[in-house]
């Protein structure tokens, strides 16, 4: 991890451990180092909205966070 946060020495990061992003996609691009620490899982969070059976199954298998639409027993929201 590049983050040091050592007030005594005045060092905040270890420059040798800073990783560049340098991403270019179809809708946006990012050049230079990341300004946020890496996540504990090593990748961005996957968040899903689930409001029916198929999205529930997808979310259960592949998401870190799931926002669900509750339904009552009659099948209406």
Specify whether 51 is located in the same domain as 76: yes
The pLDDT of residue 15 is above 60: yes
- Count CB-CB contacts under 10 A for residue 2: 15
DSSP 29: E
Q: Express each pLDDT in 21-57 by its tens digit.
A: 888 999 999 998 877 777 787 788 899 998 888 888 8
Specify whether 60 is located in the same domain as 76: yes
- Count CB-CB contacts under 10 A for residue 59: 19
Do 61 and 53 form a contact (C-beta atoms < 8 A)?
A: no
Domain of residue 53, residue span? 40-77
DSSP 73: T
Tally the domains of the chain: 2
CA angle 22, 23, 25 (to 5 degrees): 155
Q: How confident is the model at residue 66 (pLDDT cuts 50, 70, 90)?
A: very high
**Block residue for tokens 């800073």:** 18
Q: How confident is the model at residue 76 (pLDDT cuts 50, 70, 90)?
A: low
Predicted model pTM: 0.46
């Amino acid at each position: 991890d590049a983050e040091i946060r050592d007030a005594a020495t005045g060092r905040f990061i270890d420059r040798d451990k800073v990783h560049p992003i340098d991403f270019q996609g179809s809708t946006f691009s990012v050049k230079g180092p990341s300004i946020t620490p890496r996540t504990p899982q090593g990748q961005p969070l996957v968040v899903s909205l689930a409001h029916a059976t198929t999205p529930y199954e997808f979310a259960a298998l592949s998401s870190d966070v799931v926002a669900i639409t509750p339904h009552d027993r009659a099948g209406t929201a």
